[in-house]
């Protein structure tokens, strides 16, 4: 009888260039996404060693991390940012790599642009010098973040030495309750696993609830895999995947499409294949989540209260909670709904796609945000922005008092001028609530787009299910 395999093992085996006992496997990389922040030193090293880029035709670059989201037609006031963007332009030109540059309508957050053109496809290996590369796993590809030395390695050889991961099944049963989104599902998963529960592992998300999600919602789940410490997270391709890809400009067309679907359909985990680890969550019980601390695992349902050191058993747990409460300026036992916010950010590779903007806009239609709140929407890409404007979403946001910006990573990591001021508190649809993540001294609460929109209106967190 054939050996039963998981989708993770199947993709891995299909990409082994060389395998030798006592050494990592050498894996072939199907797609290398490049951006301005983690690549300059890699290109410089290629120059110093006189090495070309082996496969510019399997490489795509954009600028997203530090680009301004307004006033792009004006000179960029930040000379370092300007230099980094110009360096990306120069490197792309010199090494023959396509670049979706700042004035290209296709420019956007690197993990949004590849899927929306159909470039991210099932069964591929995809890397990028960015930890949220796991987003692409939503299509049933093995996609993971790498550092700059590895960026250089892939540019030079189109391969990466990698130690095989442990496999993990994260099954979510049931269905989404009203008001609950895939962002709440992944926050619940991370809360359950802890920020290091996935170290050394690749996750396959499975189960009824996962299968019921749209492609964009699946991307939100896979996107935050790294926040549970896992190397990658993926979802087996199915009809939802194929329907999303069909007709996109870089997806296979005609006969090639039929052949591709046949190949992709064979990727799913064999019945009876064993995972090294597995957990099951009852998805029907998941409520809208809000993070209260300084790691993405520190979240509670909106109906809950801020926990305190007394809720943790270990000395380290108590200390971590105490430090997080101090940084976040919260009291143990405080109701989540009583937390007032100053800023709202809707966007990022986690929640900057068209469905996210539609959901947020549906909450904001005909409403005004609180006078104490400053809010912004940063579409994830040029096409997302154009689509949203065609649907009139921009007017809904602007009429509600939101700023409508140009695409980029923006306040998710605050490399451009979009930052929190010290002490400011945000409701953010992004992926990290680390100390200072959105600006030194800023306090971040991670939520779904609808929860962020509702908080913008109320000036504090509210239960979206009661609106």
Partner 1 sequence: MKTIESIQGKTIPLNRADVDTDQIMPKQFLKRIERSGYGPFAFYEWRKEESFVLNDSNYTGAPIMLAQQNFGCGSSREHAVWGLEDIGVQAILAPSFADIFRNNCSKVGLLTIVLDQSDIDYLMSRAEELPDSQVRIDLSSQTVKLEGSDWQRSFEIDPFVKHRLLNGLDDIGITMQYEDEISNYESSRSSKKPDTSSAFEDTMKVG
Site for partner 1, residues 416 to 455, rule: CB under 8 A: 432, 434-437, 440
Estimate the share of the chain in helix, then strand, then coil, as percent rounded to the nearest 5: 40, 20, 40
Greatest pairwise CA separation for the chain in angstroms: 67
Tallying the residues shown for the chain, one arrives at 467
| Contact positions with partner 1 (CB under 8 A) in 12-71 | 17-18, 22-24, 26, 28, 30-31, 37-38, 40-41, 44-45, 49, 51, 56-60, 65-66
Q: What are phi and psi of 304, to 5 degrees?
A: -90, -170
Q: Could you say which DSSP state residue 402 is in?
A: E
Question: Which sign does the torsion angle of CA 376, 398, 289, 116 carry?
Answer: negative
Does residue 145 interact with partner 1 by CB under 8 A? yes
| Contact positions with partner 1 (CB under 8 A) in 243-262 | 249-252, 256, 259-260
For 119-173, the DSSP string reads: -S-TT-EEEESSGGGGGGGGGT-EEEE--HHHHHHHHHHSEEEEPPPEEEEEEEE
CB of 397 to partner 1, least distance (A): 20
**Partners of residue 77 on adjacent β-strands:** none
For 333-395, the DSSP string reads: T-BGGG-B-SEEEEEHHHH-SHHHHHHHHHHHTT----TT-EEEEE-SBHHHHHHHHHTTHHH
Q: Which of 226, 286, 364, 375 binds partner 1 (CB under 8 A)?
A: 226
The tokens of 253 are what? 């067309």
| Contact positions with partner 1 (CB under 8 A) in 153-182 | 153, 156-159, 161, 163
Q: Which of 64, 152, 287, 359 binds partner 1 (CB under 8 A)?
A: 152
**What would the x/- binding string for partner 1 be over residues 69 to 98, using CB under 8 A?**
---------x-xx-xx--x----------x
Q: Which is nearer to partner 1, 100 or 461 (CB)?
A: 100
CB of 450 to partner 1, least distance (A): 26
What does the alpha-carbon distance between residue 361 and residue 260 come to, in Å, rounded to a whole number?
A: 36
The tokens of 313 are what? 């058993």
The tokens of 58 are what? 């399997």
Does residue 386 interact with partner 1 by CB under 8 A? yes
Q: Which of 63, 112, 146, 349 binds partner 1 (CB under 8 A)?
A: 146
| Contact positions with partner 1 (CB under 8 A) in 309-348 | 316, 319-320, 323
What does the alpha-carbon distance between residue 12 and residue 35 come to, in Å, rounded to a whole number?
A: 25
CB of 456 to partner 1, least distance (A): 24
Q: Which is nearer to partner 1, 229 or 459 (CB)?
A: 229
What does the alpha-carbon distance between residue 392 and residue 382 come to, in Å, rounded to a whole number?
A: 15
Does residue 367 interact with partner 1 by CB under 8 A? no
| Contact positions with partner 1 (CB under 8 A) in 188-217 | 195-196, 199-200
| Contact positions with partner 1 (CB under 8 A) in 98-127 | 98, 100, 104-106, 117-119, 121, 124
The tokens of 97 are what? 């790599």
Q: Which is nearer to partner 1, 206 or 432 (CB)?
A: 432
Does residue 148 interact with partner 1 by CB under 8 A? yes
């Amino acid at each position: 009888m054939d050996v039963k395999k998981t989708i993770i093992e199947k993709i891995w085996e299909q990409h082994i260039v060389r395998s030798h006992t006592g050494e990592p496997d050498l894996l072939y990389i199907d797609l290398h996404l490049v951006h301005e922040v983690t690549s300059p030193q890699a290109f410089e090293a290629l120059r110093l060693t006189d090495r070309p880029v082996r496969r510019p035709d399997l490489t795509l670059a954009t600028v997203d991390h530090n680009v301004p989201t307004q006033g792009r037609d004006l000179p960029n006031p930040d000379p370092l940012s300007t230099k980094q963007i110009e360096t990306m332009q120069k490197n792309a030109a010199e090494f023959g790599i396509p670049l979706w540059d700042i004035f290209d309508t296709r420019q956007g957050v690197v993990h949004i642009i590849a899927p929306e053109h159909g470039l991210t496809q099932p069964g591929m290996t995809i890397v990028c010098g960015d930890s949220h590369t796991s987003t692409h796993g939503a299509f049933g590809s093995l996609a993971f973040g790498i550092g700059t030395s590895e960026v250089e390695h892939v540019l030079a050889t189109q391969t990466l030495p990698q130690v095989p991961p442990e496999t993990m099944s994260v099954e979510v049963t049931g269905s989404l309750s009203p008001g609950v989104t895939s962002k709440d599902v992944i926050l619940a998963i991370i809360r359950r696993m802890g920020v290091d529960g996935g170290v050394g592992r690749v996750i396959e998300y499975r189960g009824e609830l996962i299968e019921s999600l749209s492609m964009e919602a699946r991307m939100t789940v896979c996107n935050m895999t790294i926040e549970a410490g896992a190397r990658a997270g993926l979802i087996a391709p199915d009809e939802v995947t194929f329907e999303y890809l069909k007709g996109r400009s870089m997806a296979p067309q005609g006969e090639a499409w039929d052949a591709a679907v046949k190949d992709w359909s064979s990727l799913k985990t064999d019945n009876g294949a064993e995972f090294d680890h597995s957990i099951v969550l009852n998805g029907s019980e998941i409520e809208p989540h809000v993070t209260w601390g300084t790691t993405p695992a520190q979240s509670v349902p909106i109906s809950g209260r801020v926990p305190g050191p007394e809720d943790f058993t270990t000395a380290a747990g108590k200390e971590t909670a105490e430090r997080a409460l101090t940084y976040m300026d919260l009291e143990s036992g405080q109701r989540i709904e009583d937390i007032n916010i100053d800023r709202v950010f809707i966007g990022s590779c986690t929640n900057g796609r068209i469905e996210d903007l539609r959901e947020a806009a549906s909450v904001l239609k005909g409403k005004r945000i609180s006078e104490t709140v400053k809010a912004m929407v940063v579409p994830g890409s040029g096409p997302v922005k154009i689509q949203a404007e065609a649907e009139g979403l921009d007017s809904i946001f602007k009429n509600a008092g939101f700023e409508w910006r140009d695409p980029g990573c923006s306040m998710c990591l605050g490399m451009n001028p979009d930052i929190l001021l010290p002490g400011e508190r945000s409701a953010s649809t992004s992926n990290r609530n680390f100390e200072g993540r959105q600006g030194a001294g800023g306090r971040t609460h991670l939520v779904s787009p609808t929860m962020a929109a509702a908080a913008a209106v109320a000036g504090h967190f509210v239960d979206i299910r009661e609106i």
